[in-house]
Amino acid sequence: MPDTAATDTTSVARKPLPADLQAWLEAHTQQLDTAQELAGAVLPQLAAAGLFRIGVPEALGGSGGDVRDAIDAIAAVAEQSLTSAFVFWGHRTFIEYVLQSSNDALKARWLQPLLAGEHAGATGLSNAMKFLSGIESLQITAAQAGDGWQLDGGLAWITNLRKEGFVAAAAVNMPNGAPPAVMAFAGDAPGVTRSPDLDLMALRGSNTAAVWLNAVPAGAADVIALDARKFLPAVRPAFLGMQCGMSIGLARASLRSALALCAKTRNTLTDRVLELQTALDDAVARLLEGVHDGRFQSAAAPMFRLRITLAEIVQAAVMLELQASGGRAYLRDHGLDFARRWRESAFIPIVTPSLTQLQIELQKQSAAGPASATE
């Protein structure tokens, strides 16, 4: 769906991060990846820089622009810290669900605290995305309870479950033959239990945990969408586009580092670095165009391919950075940025929709022929 706030259909100017945030990310990027201590600080830092308001209409408390501006901001954060970019993505994607929901009570309760970063928004929709592709059954079930429901089940992975307070989105099996819905539940609702942080090999400051729901009360004000099958494809361009911001930022950082290393030593790699930079710029331009003009609403396949292309560019960029560095990449006293990016890059192919899921989905669509709805 084209964003009505924007009229420009060509491109979005890249904006630098505010200096305070840039300095904080530079100072803590290693710790954010390898330790959990700063997990509580990420959201307030991003909020203080006004990042959650980007791409949100001014009339709703945002700073205007459209989803392309949000993609650009997530990419700028990912250049410094993928942990912070993933927290940003989860939170901003939850904001997008609230924006695209037709539920005014939900908006009234959550939008302002989310924009201000006073409360964390988490998106537990991997399960739903896999459900839509027929890979997995829904892990949360609603039973009728008076005028509302009670929710039971759990989610194995969910990021931005801030210990100081969170609200999460999940797809839910509904009773009485109703279609699956997308619901919000707050971390402090009765019956919600958050696990300790998962023992991750990277992105450890991301507040990633499991969550269990035991007879959690839910009412009409908690409904994001009553029909997940309609809602999820509609939010998918923003969901996936902003997620691609993580790949874009990480690839840019690796290519910049590779180019700097080439300038000093391995000049033979320079052409490959520049070629990859051109491929990245081209993929970014196509992504921004498609997200903006609405074509990914009706044609998901080109967007899936772009997500795959960007993930491949990240892998190639990190590999070029390694090769341009040579053996020094193994020396801790030559800096830890490469090793961090190497670990961060391992997240890109597996974040939902994972490359495996996308490739299977594309195969299904091509088997269904050109009449396939998403082609």
Residue ranges that bind ligand FAD, judged by CB under 6 A: 90, 122-126, 133, 135, 157-159, 200, 203, 208, 350-352, 354, 356-357, 360
- Considering the complex, state which of residue 39 and residue 255 has its C-beta at the smaller distance from ligand FAD: 39
The least distance separating ligand FAD from the CB of residue 133, rounded to whole angstroms, comes to 6
40: Cα separation from own chain's centroid: 18
Using the minimum distance from each CB to ligand FAD, give the nearer residue, 214 or 356.
Answer: 356
Cα dihedral 51, 42, 152, 361 in deg (nearest 10) = 60
Angle in degrees, 0-180, between the axes of helices 82-100 and 19-34, rounded to the nearest 10 = 110
Please state the separation of Cα 136 from the chain's center in Å: 21
User: What DSSP element (H or E) covers 241?
Assistant: helix 228-264
Which are the contacts of 364, defined by CB distance < 8 A and separation ≥ 6? 133
Q: CB–CB of 225/231 below 8 Å?
A: yes
Residue type, 222: D
Least distance (Å) between residue 104 CB and ligand FAD = 26
Closest CB to ligand FAD among residues 90, 237: 90
Q: Min. distance of Cβ 271 from ligand FAD in angstroms? A: 33
Alpha-helix residue ranges (DSSP H) falling in 265-333: 270-293, 295-298, 300-325
Task: Please state the closest distance from residue 296 (CB atom) to ligand FAD, in A.
Answer: 20
Q: Print the SS3 string covering 130-168.
A: HHHCCCCCCCEEEEEECCEEEEEEEEEEECCCCCCCEEE
* Region label for 309, one of left (φ > 0), alpha (ψ between -120 and 50) or beta (otherwise): alpha
Residue 189, judged by CB atoms within 10 A of its CB (0-12, 13-18, 19+), counts as: middle
Nearer to ligand FAD, 124 or 237 (CB): 124
Of the two residues 87 and 106, which places its CB atom closer to ligand FAD in the complex? 87
CB 264, min distance to ligand FAD, A: 34
Nearer to ligand FAD, 268 or 363 (CB): 363
CA 364 to chain centre: 25
Smallest separation, CB 125 to ligand FAD (Å): 5
CB of 80 to ligand FAD, least distance (A): 18
Closest contact distance (angstroms) between CB of 356 and ligand FAD is 4
The answer to whether the CB of 121 falls within 8 A of the CB of 94 is yes
* Two tokens, residue 320: 């070029």
Whose Cβ is closer to ligand FAD: residue 188's or residue 199's? 199
Q: How far is the CB of 114 from ligand FAD (least distance, A)?
A: 15
- Residue 21 vs 82, nearer CB to ligand FAD: 82
Residue number, 186 or 360, with CB nearest to ligand FAD: 360
- From residue 5, alpha-carbon distances to 53, 80, 114, 165 in Å are 13, 29, 20, 31
